[in-house]
Homo-oligomer: A and B are copies of this chain.
Amino acid sequence: MYICFMYSNELVKGTLKTIVLSLLAKHSRMYGYEITQHVKEQTGGKIQLTEGALYPLLHRLEADGLLLTEKVNIGKRVRKYYKLTKTGSETAGSLVAEFKEFTQTMGKLIDSFIYKPQYNV
């Protein structure tokens, strides 16, 4: 799903939907390739979406009624814009809220973590 230089893929999983929907909530309409480039630039290359994960997700979100598409001809190429439906907009809001809540809850579990150099074996 991601090619990550800074994060273990393990840790990053499960946030793609949140990223995509929140970006669409800000930009009203975006196309797939644009999303990958935007995320790469905004995060200084720390998060890089792979197209193999992104496109199937966009198709799923459309099938689930969270996104609508609009095809625009750019020369001989067809660019496929996505925008949020009402449900998509609501889902974007709740996923972002959930993510923020979740990081706080995780903080409680993790924050008191102190690196103890005394280990076993």
Q: Residues of A with Cβ closer than 8 Å to B?
A: 6-8, 10-15, 17-19, 22-23, 25-26, 28, 39, 42-43, 46-47, 68, 83-86, 88-89, 92-96, 98-103, 105-106, 108-110, 112-117, 119-121
Q: List 21 A-B contacts (CB under 8 A).
A: A6-B105, A7-B101, A7-B102, A10-B14, A11-B17, A11-B98, A15-B106, A18-B110, A19-B106, A22-B109, A25-B115, A26-B112, A26-B113, A39-B109, A46-B105, A47-B105, A68-B120, A68-B121, A86-B121, A89-B117, A100-B110
Q: Is the CB of B14 within 8 A of A110?
A: no
Complex CA–CA separation, A11 to B105 (angstroms) = 13
Return chain B residues, CB-CB under 8 Å to A93.
115
Known A25-B113, A89-B119, A105-B46: A98·B14 in contact at CB below 8 Å: no
Given pairs A11-B95, A22-B110, 13 additional interface contacts (CB within 8 A): A6-B98, A7-B102, A8-B94, A10-B14, A14-B14, A25-B115, A26-B114, A28-B116, A42-B109, A86-B120, A89-B115, A89-B119, A93-B115
